[in-house]
Chains A and B, each alone.
Chain A
Amino acid sequence: MSGAPLLEVRDLSVSFRTQDGTVHAVDGVSFTVNRGEVLGIVGESGSGKSVTAMTLMRLVLDQNAVFSGEVLFKGRDLMQLSQGDMLQVRGKQISMIFQDPMTSLNPVYRVGWQIDEQLRAHEGLSAKQARRRTLELLGAVGIPNPEARIDDYPHQFSGGMRQRVMIAMGLSCNPDVLIADEPTTALDVTIQAQILELIGNLQREFDSAVVLITHDLGVVAEVADRVAVMYAGRIVEYGEVGELFRGPQHPYTWGLLGSISRLDRPRQRRLAAISGQPPSLISLPAGCSFRPRCPFAFDRCRAERPALEARSRSGHLDACLLSPDQKQARRAATPEAS
């Protein structure tokens, strides 16, 4: 790993002007991704994780979207590139796997054609070469008998196989960064296990960096090296995966961890649900956005918006105004803490 990160996002904000007011979908998000690393972005629906991913790819084309901040990739700010220049980056250097393999493939084109389209566009391969490379890719992602399946249509594939096709497309040009937006959410657990293993293997093989977006902390714990927890458009906790899971600092992260029933632990009577609902992104509460749902909120939380900084001994970043000792005491006092 050389000094500079492969991808660096600095203070990225995305908002949408709507009739009801401005929706602050992403609000001052910063993170870095290094080569050969998996960054997990966790959050619930509406936390801004998908908008972040789409913005990195410059795929947010809404007329009413307002952007600020920088996305530095190999020394260039992607936010400043024209859509024409972006075509050279998208798919070739940064590529994306979408959530829903049922709807993100084109139903009227053959699977093979959809994969070799970008090989012809980006790598300038002939039709014949592209087809050979596509066959290799289909084999690499574990499609049995690629010669027979390459000319099938997406509806002839199962959900897991379609997601494999998406991954083959994502990897076709050996991208430096692969963004996977909820790649396994639509799949059954046994198929999810196959796909996660596949992404892990391919990432090691191609030495790509992966940004994995998910709502499932279990998935993050298994595959990510570093984790960013998002809430209401902001990162509330950010750090190395082991540190974050061993000593989570933000009450929202505790809530998320408490909300899952864990198979490796004895059964609890009740789940520690987070009360209430996520705030409206049009009128965020002043101060800490999590304050209305936080059982430990105090006066400062109302007045002051906590910055994401190193507050704990473990050195990972969090955005909660409680002191580390208070956090430890509060967390130990909650029933699901461990």
Chain B
Amino acid sequence: MSDTAAPLLRARGVRKYFPIKRGVVFQREVARVHAVDDVDLDLMPGETVGLVGESGCGKSTFGRCLIRLHDLTEGMIEFDGQDISTLDRKQMRPLRREIQMVFQDPYASLNPRKRVGTIIGDPLRIHGVGARGDVNKRVQELLELVGLSPEHYNRYPHEFSGGQRQRIGVARALALSPRLIIADEPVSALDVSIQAQVVNLLSDLQDDLGLTYLFIAHDLSVVRHVSDRIAVMYLGKIVELAPAEELYDRPIHPYSEALLSAVPVPDPDVERERIVLQGDVPSPITPPGGCRFHPRCRYATDICTTTEPPLVKHAEQHLAACHHPLNLHS
């Protein structure tokens, strides 16, 4: 990825707070969930950015903000040079053809009462792409593209296994030939051997169609496998952003280090130091002051409790937000 190319998508200072309300008639806001708190991210054309973090860190909310399934509390999102953060539903319509989403749960994200042909063809019909005959043909092409057979056209989702359903979800997302796909935990609900099939499918499609992916997942091994760059999120903030290999070789943020060390390695002969983080992720309603990770960080000092570290560049393409960066200078 050269720095000269313009990003396909630019997010600047994105914040999403969910209000917590009390009262029946006169609802007043008593607190806010700081789901996404000041996130900047660029997606370059043709690259895959992995977004990782534990449940509740705001990674899915951020993904949904990017395609405006949530309205932003604050911030700006630019797609292909156009500011899309304040567009209304109608104005967003044409952009939906460019940005599509693949959802986590292949059991819940397909309408059980519609046939596969209808599910995949609906985006084409809604956007008025092609005549009726063309839609059928396109759907059959898409089915083949994702490794299903055109005979599956008239079946219902329940007749498919989890992996096949996820392929249907991918075909639906591809129907309008989008440029950007936001994949929210696309393989987490699948068995390992099936995960590998779907991961391979996504990377083949990227090679053939030149897609850009934002790949949201909590499984670090899968994310490393698919991503060019990886952003690590913790409590609504990106704490580290680095090229994939670099993040795994020399993580700068202690949270990334701990997260990586916690992934079990399928080899009993490998001895690794496992950093076991104490306690749970704090509540995003009242995130800790200073660095949000400090209550669980083994390197934390006084400054971490008072001053929030900015996300700064430590090496080429490698940003981290920490007062005590690790692995600097080899």
Do residues A267 and B191 form an inter-chain contact, with CB atoms below 8 A?
no
Name which of B105-113, B126-134, B192-200 contacts chain A: B192-200
Q: Does B61 contact A (CB under 8 A)?
A: no
Q: Does A4 contact B (CB under 8 A)?
A: no
Q: How far is the CA of A242 from the CA of B270 in the complex (A)?
A: 11
> In this complex, what residue of B is CB-closest to A193?
B262
Q: Does A104 contact B (CB under 8 A)?
A: no
Q: How far is the CA of A106 from the CA of B248 in the complex (A)?
A: 41
Q: Does A123 contact B (CB under 8 A)?
A: no
> In this complex, what residue of A is CB-closest to B255?
A190
Minimal beta-carbon separation of B182 from chain A (angstroms): 21
Q: How far is the CA of A44 from the CA of B197 in the complex (A)?
A: 14
Do residues A256 and B192 form an inter-chain contact, with CB atoms below 8 A?
yes
Q: Does A108 contact B (CB under 8 A)?
A: no
Per the 8 Å Cβ criterion, residues 45-80 of A in contact with B are 45
Q: How far is the CA of A146 from the CA of B274 in the complex (A)?
A: 26
Report chain A residues within 8 Å CB of B54. Answer: 188-191
Report chain B residues within 8 Å CB of A178. Answer: none
Specify which of A158, A197, A217, A264 is in contact with B276 (CB 8 Å cutoff).
A197
Q: Does A194 contact B (CB under 8 A)?
A: yes
Report chain A residues within 8 Å CB of B93. Answer: none
Report chain A residues within 8 Å CB of B264. Answer: 192, 196, 216, 218-219, 221-222
Do residues A194 and B277 form an inter-chain contact, with CB atoms below 8 A?
yes
Q: How far is the CA of A221 from the CA of B271 in the complex (A)?
A: 11
Minimal beta-carbon separation of B229 from chain A (angstroms): 13
Minimal beta-carbon separation of A144 from chain B (angstroms): 8
A261-B222, A263-B224, A277-B161 are known contacts. Are A192 and B193 too (CB-CB below 8 A)?
no
Q: Give 1 or 0 for each of A257-292: 1 = CB within 8 Å of chain B CB.
A: 111111110011011111101000000000000000
Q: How far is the CA of A263 from the CA of B223 in the complex (A)?
A: 10
Report chain A residues within 8 Å CB of B262. Answer: 189-190, 192-193
Q: Does B51 contact A (CB under 8 A)?
A: no
Do residues B265 and A218 form an inter-chain contact, with CB atoms below 8 A?
yes
Report chain B residues within 8 Å CB of A215. Answer: 191-192
Report chain A residues within 8 Å CB of B280. Answer: 158, 160-161, 191
Q: Does B272 contact A (CB under 8 A)?
A: yes
> In this complex, what residue of A is CB-closest to B52?
A189
Minimal beta-carbon separation of B77 from chain A (angstroms): 28
Q: How far is the CA of A245 from the CA of B270 in the complex (A)?
A: 11
Minimal beta-carbon separation of B86 from chain A (angstroms): 34
Q: Give 1 or 0 for each of A146-160: 1 = CB within 8 Å of chain B CB.
A: 000000000000111
Indicate the member of A44, A192, A272, A273 with the most B CB atoms within 10 Å: A273
Q: Does B311 contact A (CB under 8 A)?
A: no
Q: Does B145 contact A (CB under 8 A)?
A: no
Report chain B residues within 8 Å CB of A197. Answer: 274, 276
Q: Does A101 contact B (CB under 8 A)?
A: no
> In this complex, what residue of B is CB-closest to A186?
B55
Do residues B266 and A190 form an inter-chain contact, with CB atoms below 8 A?
no
Q: Does A220 contact B (CB under 8 A)?
A: yes
Report chain B residues within 8 Å CB of A256. Answer: 192-193
Report chain B residues within 8 Å CB of A260. Answer: 192, 196, 221, 266
Report chain B residues within 8 Å CB of A271. Answer: 196, 199-200, 225
Q: How far is the CA of A196 from the CA of B274 in the complex (A)?
A: 11
Do residues B265 and A221 form an inter-chain contact, with CB atoms below 8 A?
yes
Report chain B residues within 8 Å CB of A270. Answer: 200, 203
Q: Does A241 contact B (CB under 8 A)?
A: yes
Do residues B268 and A241 form an inter-chain contact, with CB atoms below 8 A?
yes
Q: Does B263 contact A (CB under 8 A)?
A: yes
Minimal beta-carbon separation of A215 from chain B (angstroms): 6
Report chain B residues within 8 Å CB of A219. Answer: 264
Q: Give 1 or 0 for each of A210-227: 1 = CB within 8 Å of chain B CB.
A: 000001111111100000
Minimal beta-carbon separation of B227 from chain A (angstroms): 10
Minimal beta-carbon separation of A184 from chain B (angstroms): 9
Q: How far is the CA of A73 from the CA of B203 in the complex (A)?
A: 50
Q: Does B3 contact A (CB under 8 A)?
A: no
Report chain B residues within 8 Å CB of A273. Answer: 193-194, 196-197, 199-200
Report chain B residues within 8 Å CB of A242. Answer: 268-269
Specify which of A144, A189, A257, A267 is in contact with B266 (CB 8 Å cutoff).
A257
Do residues B269 and A263 form an inter-chain contact, with CB atoms below 8 A?
no
Report chain B residues within 8 Å CB of A128. Answer: none
Do residues B267 and A221 form an inter-chain contact, with CB atoms below 8 A?
yes
Do residues A44 and B268 form an inter-chain contact, with CB atoms below 8 A?
no
Q: Does A170 contact B (CB under 8 A)?
A: no
Q: Does B258 contact A (CB under 8 A)?
A: yes
Minimal beta-carbon separation of A248 from chain B (angstroms): 10
Report chain B residues within 8 Å CB of A191. Answer: 54, 280
Do residues B192 and A190 form an inter-chain contact, with CB atoms below 8 A?
no
Report chain A residues within 8 Å CB of B195. Answer: 259
The list of the 5 closest CB pairs from A to B, nearest first, reads A218-B264, A273-B196, A261-B225, A259-B196, A271-B196
Q: Which residues of B contact A (CB under 8 A)?
A: 54-55, 161-164, 191-197, 199-200, 203, 218, 220-222, 224-225, 244-245, 248, 258-270, 272, 274, 276-280
Q: Which residues of A contact B (CB under 8 A)?
A: 44-45, 144, 158-161, 188-194, 196-197, 215-222, 241-242, 245-246, 255-264, 267-268, 270-275, 277
Listed A/B pairs (23) with beta-carbon separation below 8 Å? A158-B280, A190-B262, A190-B276, A191-B280, A196-B264, A218-B263, A221-B264, A221-B267, A222-B265, A262-B265, A263-B221, A264-B267, A264-B272, A267-B244, A267-B245, A272-B196, A273-B194, A273-B199, A274-B197, A275-B197, A277-B163, A277-B164, A277-B194
Knowing that A192-B262, A193-B276 are A-B contacts, what are 18 other residue pairs whose CB atoms are under 8 Å apart, sorted by A's residue number?
A189-B220, A189-B262, A194-B278, A197-B274, A218-B266, A221-B270, A222-B268, A245-B266, A257-B266, A259-B192, A260-B221, A262-B265, A264-B267, A271-B200, A272-B196, A273-B193, A273-B197, A277-B163
